[in-house]
Amino acid sequence: MAQTPPTDAAPSTDVAELSYEQARDELVRVVGELEQGSSTLEQSLALWERGEALAKRCEEWLLGARARLDAARAAAATE
């Protein structure tokens, strides 16, 4: 997962290109907008879908980090 995404992730940025921090920050923004309740139904649905994709991206990063930690621990245990 060694990707170098743009530093300023716009909402139109492909979720697969986002770093964990970018996806997390955008997810926080999306949740905030949804909580305000000032969006139209169509906008809310689009935000919800974007939020789901962002949450999945964050989970992918976290699972990858966990796998790396598990591998490092296993390697250290065999030394």
The reported pLDDT for the residue numbered 35 is 96
Q: For residues 13 and 8, give the distance between their C-alpha atoms in angstroms, rounded to a whole number.
A: 9
pLDDT digits (tens, 9 = 90+) for 29-51: 999 999 999 999 999 999 999 99
pLDDT band of residue 9 (cuts 50, 70, 90) is very low
Question: What does pTM read for this prediction?
Answer: 0.78
The reported pLDDT for the residue numbered 11 is 62
Whether residue 20 has pLDDT greater than 80: yes
Q: For residues 19 and 46, give the distance between their C-alpha atoms in angstroms, rounded to a whole number.
A: 21
The reported pLDDT for the residue numbered 79 is 84
Q: For residues 79 and 47, give the distance between their C-alpha atoms in angstroms, rounded to a whole number.
A: 48
The reported pLDDT for the residue numbered 4 is 35
